[in-house]
């Protein structure tokens, strides 16, 4: 699971109001090297919940030197965009789980694939 995805996921456990962001508990993390696309990163940034991204990076020990708030004119700052590219797409949780911050319900991540299924009556 990549942090771009994590940034868009929320807990859908019945009755939960504050289900975002899901807490990441990772037992295995991998960092891949992937082709960088400045336009894609620039387009994604306004769609992100920035604080949730920083929080997720911290959980994985990958916050490096990402700013806690978005810098203005980020589209022109390639170094910044590359850092964001890395945290959004290159860092990957291979094994672990996502935990609902309100109910505590855990969703397992196995071989990089999160399982978000709820059982009946949940």
Partner 1 sequence: RKLKSAACRACRQYLLHLAHDNVDFRLPVQTVNFQFTQTFVLILTSRSAFELWGHGTTTDELRMSLLEYPAENMAPYLQQNSTYKINVYTFNKTLVFKDSIEKIDALDFLPFKGTVNLKAPEHIFCLLEDYGSDPYEIPEEPFHMYFGRWIADGQRELIRSYSVKKRHFIGNTSMDAGLSFIMANHAKVKADDLVYDPFVGTGSLLVACSRFGAYVCGTDIDYNTIHGVGKASRKNQKWRGPDENIRANLRQYGTESLYVDVMVSDASKTVWRKTAQFDAIVTDPPYGIRESTRRTGSHKDIIKPPEDFSGESHIPVSMAYHLSDIFADLLNFAAHHLVLGGRLIYWLPIYRPEYCEEMVPLHPCLTLISNCEQTLSSHTSRRLITMEKTKEPEESDGLAHLADPRFTPYHGHNSFREKYFCGLTKKNGKDSKATPGNKD
Q: Residue 6's CB: how many other CB atoms inside 10 A?
A: 22
If the CB atoms of residues 5 and 27 are measured against partner 1, the closer one turns out to be 5
Binding segment (CB under 8 A) for partner 1, from list 55-63, 65-73, 75-83, 109-117: 109-117
- Joined tokens for residue 19: 């289900």
Buried b (16+ CB within 10 A) or exposed e, 64-103: eebeeebeeebeeeeebbebbbbbbbbbbbeebbbbbbee
47 interacts with partner 1 by CB under 8 A: yes
Please, what is the minimum distance in Å from the beta carbon of residue 8 to partner 1?
4
Binding segment (CB under 8 A) for partner 1, from list 5-13, 53-61, 65-73, 74-82: 5-13
Residue 110 near residue 92 (C-beta atoms within 8 A): no
116 interacts with partner 1 by CB under 8 A: yes
Out of 18, 30, 43, 76, point to the residue binding partner 1 (CB under 8 A): 43
Out of 35, 65, 73, 79, point to the residue binding partner 1 (CB under 8 A): 35
Three-class SS of residue 55? helix
The Cα 65–Cα 116 span in angstroms is 31
| Residues binding partner 1 (CB under 8 A) | 1-2, 4-5, 8-10, 12, 20, 34-35, 37, 39-40, 43-44, 47, 49, 89, 108, 110-121
């Amino acid at each position: 699971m990549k942090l771009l995805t994590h940034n868009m996921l929320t807990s859908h456990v019945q009755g939960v109001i504050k289900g975002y962001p899901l807490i990441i508990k990772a037992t295995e993390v991998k960092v891949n090297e992937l082709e960088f696309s400045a336009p894609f990163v620039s387009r994604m940034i306004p769609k992100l919940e920035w604080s949730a991204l920083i929080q997720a990076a911290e959980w994985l020990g990958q916050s490096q030197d990402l700013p806690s708030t978005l810098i203005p004119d980020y589209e022109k700052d390639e170094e910044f965009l590359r850092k964001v590219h890395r945290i959004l797409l290159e860092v990957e949780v291979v094994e672990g789980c996502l935990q609902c911050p309100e109910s505590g319900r855990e969703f397992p991540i196995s071989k990089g694939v999160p399982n978000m299924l709820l059982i009946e009556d949940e």
